[in-house]
């Protein structure tokens, strides 16, 4: 049997989208097997353990190969962020990934090695073992256009992005504020800056780039990439748009978290706004209070996923936060006053099922790309409230390019006031601005369905990708 080996970055979002890529490949080419190299890390990456168990139990053609753990002493002085620790683990894991590929190839013919952007240190393994190696880019094509061009920006200035205080112009996307670059590269002195730039320099040297998007969603960015405008010193490799790759809502759910779906059944069509901010999206107590006040002032029905605030002890940033104490975190009496029109869920909700529920009329999101695509596939308009990673870039793309979201505007220091929350929720659910993005969301949903249809662009790109493997 021929195998495709995949190497995702640690983190539930990266893992899910790569598993979905494997499922898509198997749905059209069941003769392949999928082997996923799994990095064991000593910090919180979301609920990867239960998810891997679920995939193993339900999808026998997808197996996981656990790489040996890399011992790290996690302290904020050595690793100021999870990204810094992740980069070190993936760099140190290259010999183990090579051994894994050599071991797998003893019994199986490996037709392709697909690596996450953050696993780019493993790119050389494929060439050394004569295995075609592709980069899997789990965000969208607009972000990809920006990232491919970032090494050019890096070469043209010696200043840090945080100090530029200007709009940056990238091929195929709207102008981007320099302060909106991913946090890991805002300052050139950050330990994550140079490794990340190196990943981006190496990415065009792969055999191709697989992107979790579809052609009609981001045509301008894709044209800029295919025209060679984003990579200045190398040929641009083939780009394969195989999205939208989103998880079906078949993961096990339990307890009162299922109650939110029953609660949604009680409310009219398109009447509820859903607020959820990803597995790593945490707010201070003060910010949670203003969100609550804003929701109450808006008078709209809402379903809100609340997580505990960031820990005071920086060492605890690496570990799973406890479930929130809603009585301590939210304004006194808020839950009682909004009981008839609001539902607050602790820590987690079945997001795909929620977004596809008829009662949902809008989504306040952190702009993580998986969440964006889930909203697109459900035809739900958004309010963009980015928090980390590339999400500030995604906000610009969603608001200015795709017109699928309204912006949540921050005050000084990144705080969002109760008045802003109330204003944006009201606009999204009631006013012309919301109707405009809702109309765009419906069109995007149809585009997503068309891309994955039998004659669609994403399935055509998959066929082209698989054909390239056969030629090697």
Per-residue pLDDT at 314 exceeds 70: no
CA pair distance 20, 35, nearest whole angstrom: 13
Tokens in use for 362? 């809008």
pLDDT reported for residue 81: 82
8 Å CB contact between 279 and 247: no
8 Å CB contact between 120 and 202: yes
Cβ neighbours of residue 91 closer than 8 Å, sequence gap 6 or more: 121, 195
pLDDT reported for residue 353: 95
- For residues 71 and 94, the model is more confident at 94
8 Å CB contact between 185 and 192: yes
∠ CA 453-14-175 to the nearest 5 degrees? 80
263-280: average pLDDT: 95
8 Å CB contact between 135 and 203: yes
433-461: average pLDDT: 97
Cβ neighbours of residue 25 closer than 8 Å, sequence gap 6 or more: 4, 32, 34, 462, 466
* Structural domains of the chain, with CATH: 2-247+454-469 (3.40.50.2000), 256-449 (3.40.50.2000)
Per-residue pLDDT at 455 exceeds 60: yes
Cα torsion through 107, 110, 115, 121, rounded to 10: 70
pLDDT reported for residue 316: 64
Per-residue pLDDT at 250 exceeds 90: no
Question: In degrees rounded to 5, what are phi and psi of residue 3?
Answer: -125, 150
CA pair distance 366, 194, nearest whole angstrom: 26
Give residue 433's pLDDT band: very low, low, confident or very high (50, 70, 90).
very high
Give residue 472's pLDDT band: very low, low, confident or very high (50, 70, 90).
low
8 Å CB contact between 47 and 145: no
pLDDT tens-digit profile of 195-236?
A: 999 999 999 999 999 999 999 999 999 999 999 999 998 899
Q: Report pTM.
A: 0.95
Per-residue pLDDT at 277 exceeds 60: yes
Region of 331 please: left (phi>0), alpha (psi -120 to 50) or beta: beta
43-51: average pLDDT: 76
pLDDT reported for residue 45: 67
pLDDT reported for residue 78: 74
Per-residue pLDDT at 320 exceeds 90: no
pLDDT tens-digit profile of 331-374?
A: 999 999 999 999 999 998 999 999 999 999 999 999 999 999 99
Question: In degrees rounded to 5, what are phi and psi of residue 285?
Answer: -60, -40
For helices 457-470 and 12-28, give the axis angle rounded to 10 degrees: 80
Average pLDDT value for the chain: 93
83-90: average pLDDT: 91
CA pair distance 166, 176, nearest whole angstrom: 8
Give residue 465's pLDDT band: very low, low, confident or very high (50, 70, 90).
very high
CA pair distance 237, 231, nearest whole angstrom: 10
Per-residue pLDDT at 460 exceeds 80: yes
Cα torsion through 289, 292, 297, 301, rounded to 10: 180
CA pair distance 269, 327, nearest whole angstrom: 30
Sign of CA dihedral 6, 7, 10, 13: negative
10-36: average pLDDT: 94
The separation between the first and the last C-alpha atoms of the chain, rounded to the nearest angstrom, is: 16
**Which of 76-90, 91-105, 258-272, 366-380 is predicted least confidently?**
76-90
Closest CA to 257 of 205, 314, 323: 323
- As a three-state string, the secondary structure of the chain is CEEEEEECCCCHHHHHHHHHHHHHHHHHCCCCEEEEEECCCCCCCCCHHHHHHHHHHHCCCEEEEECCCCCCCCCCCCCCCHHHHHHHHHHHCHHHHHHHHHHHHCCCEEEEEEEEHHHHHHHHHHHHCCCCEEEEECCCHHHHHHHHHHHHHHHHCCCCHHHHCCEECCCCCCCEEHHHCCHHHCCCCCCCHHHHHHHHHHHHHCCCEEECCCCCCCHHHHHHHHCCCCCCCCCCCCEEECCCCCCCCCCCCCHHHHHHHHHHCCCCCCCEEEEECCCCCCCCHHHHHHHHHHHHHHCCEEEEEECCCCCCCHHHHHCCCCCCCHHHHCCCCHHHHCCCCEEEEECCCCHHHHHCCCCEEEEEECCCHHHHHHHHHHCCCEEECCCCCCHHHHHHHHHHHCCCEEECCCCHHHCCCHHHHHHHHHHHHHCHHHHHHHHHHHHHHHHHHHHCCCCCHHHHHHHHHHHHHHCC
pLDDT reported for residue 135: 98
Per-residue pLDDT at 19 exceeds 90: yes
- For residues 63 and 318, the model is more confident at 63
């Amino acid at each position: 049997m021929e195998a495709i080996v995949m190497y995702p970055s640690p983190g539930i979002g990266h893992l899910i989208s790569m598993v979905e890529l494997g499922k898509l490949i198997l749905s059209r080419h069941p003769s392949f097997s999928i082997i996923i190299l799994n990095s064991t890390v000593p910090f919180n990456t979301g609920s990867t353990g239960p998810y891997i168990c679920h995939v193993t139990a339900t999808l026998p053609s997808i197996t996981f190969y656990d790489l040996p753990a890399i011992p790290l002493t996690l302290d904020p002085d050595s690793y100021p962020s999870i990204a810094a620790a992740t980069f070190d683990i993936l760099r140190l894991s290259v010999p183990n990934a090579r051994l894994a590929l050599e071991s797998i190839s003893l019994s199986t013919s490996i037709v392709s090695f697909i690596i996450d952007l953050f696993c780019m240190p493993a790119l050389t393994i494929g060439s050394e073992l004569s295995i075609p190696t592709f980069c899997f880019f789990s965000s969208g094509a607009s972000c990809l256009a920006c990232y491919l061009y970032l090494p050019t920006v890096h070469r043209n200035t010696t200043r840090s992005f945080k100090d530029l205080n200007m709009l940056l112009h990238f091929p195929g996307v709207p102008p981007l504020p320099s302060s909106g670059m991913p946090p890991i590269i805002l300052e050139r002195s950050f330990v994550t800056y140079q490794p990340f730039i190196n990943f981006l320099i190496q990415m065009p040297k792969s055999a191709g780039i697989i992107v979790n998007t579809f052609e009609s969603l981001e045509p301008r960015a894709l044209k800029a990439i295919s025209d060679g405008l984003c990579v200045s010193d190398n040929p641009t490799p083939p780009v394969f748009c195989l999205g939208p790759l989103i998880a079906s809502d078949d993961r096990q759910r339990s307890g009162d978290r299922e109650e939110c779906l029953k609660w949604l059944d009680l409310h009219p069509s398109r009447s509820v706004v859903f607020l959820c901010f990803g597995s790593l999206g945490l707010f201070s107590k003060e910010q949670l209070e203003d969100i609550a006040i804003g929701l109450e002032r808006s008078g709209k029905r809402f379903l809100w996923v609340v997580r505990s605030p960031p820990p005071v002890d920086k060492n605890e940033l690496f570990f799973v936060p406890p479930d929130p104490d809603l009585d301590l975190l939210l304004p006194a009496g808020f839950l009682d006053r909004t009981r008839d029109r609001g539902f607050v869920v602790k820590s987690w909700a079945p997001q795909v099922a929620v977004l596809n529920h008829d009662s949902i009329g809008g989504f306040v999101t952190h702009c993580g790309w998986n969440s964006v695509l889930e909203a697109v596939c459900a035809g739900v308009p958004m309010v963009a409230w980015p928090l980390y990673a590339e999400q500030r870039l995604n906000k610009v793309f969603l608001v200015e390019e795709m017109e699928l979201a309204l912006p949540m505007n921050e005050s000084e220091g990144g705080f969002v006031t109760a008045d802003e929350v109330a204003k944006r929720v009201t606009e999204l659910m009631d006013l012309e601005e919301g109707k405009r993005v809702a109309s765009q969301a419906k069109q995007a949903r149809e585009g997503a369905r068309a891309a994955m249809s039998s004659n669609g662009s994403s399935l055509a790109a998959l066929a082209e990708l698989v054909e390239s493997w056969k030629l090697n």
